[in-house]
């Protein structure tokens, strides 16, 4: 971990840079090639990439059968089944509370002019759940639960086939079974996003794509948006920023940093503190805890692009954090409520010494699909709202049309849109003859 003592604010921008895994232009170009291939060859292209990228040379059926689903789900140990069911309860409770009214209250903007909005579920959604070295069944809960609560008519799950045997991780299948999801596609990476965008014989095209992934998945989602398919956000490699004061436990802080570093070599962790004793203690704990991790080498690579900063006071730490706009923000301080009131750029905030980021990843109830790479400056994390669209309605009574006509007609004429003005004038004249 790179350590910096009291860097000047002029240096902060450089210290806030995320690690880059190659050229973004090259990644976009490669994702574009995969997109075009899937659009042309459909399922054949998906089988090709399963062999080339996932190490599954003989993948035939791209859809998980009912028999595969049941058999895979049955392999999940009872303890994990119970944990997943409890997580489902918590996540459901939090997201169900976000349910909007079916029809919002009408607003009469002028006498006889009524306007209102209605929430409508996005009809067809695609959920991307990373597999690879760590099958993230928790991501399926975070996406599948709000999709079901919103009432999306069609939910398509894409997740990479297991290396060698092509099987989906049992925990993902169990989670899918618990949520009642049956359209499960053995496809990952940019090719899965392409298939959800353009549709193939096995993969239905969808209206909106959700889910995190590596830089190729993120690039593919950007390409999907260019082709008219909505996305949740540009969610890429995971990151956490910890603000810690002298009251923090160095072992806790180190564990939180490592819990994000183990996601992948391009993950980033940042520690801000005004206590040199705490900073040194965290460095010592990182050295002690890192070798104990099964994914130690991945975490070690991530730490090379991660930073620990000693800053003069809480105000400086707060300013740095808001500029960085972290995906996850941990307030390991004595009075987190005071600090939280001044946070305006963050995906999800974890307050106090007993609230590790890991609880949000799995089962506190909040959603772990969050904006990364600084996108928390403008994006929210996934919520129930993400699966709805709002349709506006308006209806005019005769008095409303007559009241709006002298407003709309001159405005339309001033913009040179005379057909607009004429559409109102015709109705005004009609009403005047009644």
Does residue 21 surpass a pLDDT of 80?
no
Residue among 72, 56, 204, 73 nearest 126 (CA): 204
Instruction: Point out the residues that are catalytic.
Output: 327-328
pLDDT at 23 (0 to 100): 60
Instruction: Kindly write down the DSSP assignment for every residue of 41-106, as one continuous string.
Output: HTHHHHHHHHHHHS--TT----BPPHHHHHHHHTTS-HHHHHHHHHHHHHHHHHHHTTPPPSBPPP
pTM, whole model, 2 decimals? 0.93
Residue 5 placed within a domain:
no
Q: Is 361 annotated as a binding residue?
A: yes
pLDDT digits (tens, 9 = 90+) for 105-120: 999 999 999 999 999 9
420 known ligand binder: yes
Which range marks the domain in which residue 401 is found?
Answer: 397-432
On the 0-12 / 13-18 / 19+ scale of CB atoms within 10 A, 240 is: buried
- The mean pLDDT of 392-414, rounded to a whole number, is 97
238 marked as binding residue? yes
In this structure, the answer to whether residues 205 and 300 fall within a common structural domain is: no
DSSP lists the bridge partners of residue 270 as 241, 307
Tell me: the pLDDT tens digits for 54-71? Answer: 999 888 899 999 999 999
Is position 214 annotated in a ligand binding site? Answer: yes
Predicted local distance difference test score (pLDDT) of residue 250? 98
263 is in an annotated binding site: yes
| 241 in the same domain as 227 | no
Residue 3 lies in a domain: no
Q: How many other CB atoms are there within 10 angstroms of residue 349's CB atom?
A: 19
Q: What is the CATH number of the domain that holds 46?
A: 3.40.50.1980
Number of independent structural domains in the chain: 3
**Whole-number pLDDT of residue 256:** 98
Q: Dihedral of CA 86/184/206/118: which sign?
A: negative
Domain check: are 122 and 182 in the same one?
yes
191 has binding-site annotation? yes
């Amino acid at each position: 971990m790179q350590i910096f003592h009291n860097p000047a604010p002029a240096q902060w921008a450089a210290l806030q840079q995320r690690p880059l895994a190659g050229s973004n232009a090259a990644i976009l170009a490669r994702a574009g090639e995969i997109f075009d291939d899937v659009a042309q060859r459909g399922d054949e292209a998906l089988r090709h990439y399963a062999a080339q990228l996932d190490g599954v040379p003989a993948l035939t059926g791209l859809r998980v059968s009912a028999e595969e689903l049941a058999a895979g789900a049955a392999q999940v140990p009872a303890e994990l089944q119970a944990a997943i069911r409890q997580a489902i309860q918590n996540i459901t409770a939090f997201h169900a509370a976000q349910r909007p009214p079916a029809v919002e209250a009408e607003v009469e903007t002028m006498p006889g002019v009524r306007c209102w909005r209605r929430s409508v579920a996005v009809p067809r959604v695609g959920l991307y759940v990373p597999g690879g070295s760590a099958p993230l069944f928790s991501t399926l809960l975070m996406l599948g639960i709000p999709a079901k609560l919103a009432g999306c008519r069609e939910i398509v799950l894409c997740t990479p086939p297991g290396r060698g045997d092509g099987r989906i991780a049992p925990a993902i299948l169990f989670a899918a079974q618990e949520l009642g999801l049956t359209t499960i596609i053995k496809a990952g990476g940019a090719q899965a996003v392409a298939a959800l965008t353009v549709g193939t014989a096995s993969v239905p095209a969808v209206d909106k794509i959700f889910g995190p992934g590596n830089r190729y998945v993120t690039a593919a989602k950007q390409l999907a948006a260019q082709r008219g398919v909505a996305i949740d956000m540009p969610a890429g490699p995971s990151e956490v920023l910890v603000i810690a004061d002298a009251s923090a436990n160095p072992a806790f802080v180190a564990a939180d940093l490592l819990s994000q570093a183990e996601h992948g070599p391009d993950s980033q962790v940042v520690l801000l503190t005004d206590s040199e004793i705490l900073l040194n203690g965290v460095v010592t704990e990182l050295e002690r805890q890192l070798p104990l991790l099964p994914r130690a080498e991945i975490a070690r690579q991530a730490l090379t692009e991660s930073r620990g900063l000693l800053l003069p006071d809480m105000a400086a730490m707060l300013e740095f954090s808001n500029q960085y706009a972290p995906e996850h923000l941990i307030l390991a301080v004595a009075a987190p409520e005071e600090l939280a009131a001044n946070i305006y750029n963050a995906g999800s905030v974890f307050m106090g010494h007993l609230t590790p980021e890991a609880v949000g990843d799995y089962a506190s109830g909040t959603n772990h699909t969050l904006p990364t790479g600084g996108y928390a400056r403008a994006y929210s994390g996934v919520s129930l709202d993400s699966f709805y669209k709002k349709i506006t309605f308006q209806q005019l009574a005769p008095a409303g049309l007559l009241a709006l006509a002298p407003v709309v007609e001159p405005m339309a004429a001033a913009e040179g849109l005379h057909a607009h003005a004429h559409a109102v004038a015709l109705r005004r004249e009609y009403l005047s003859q009644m």
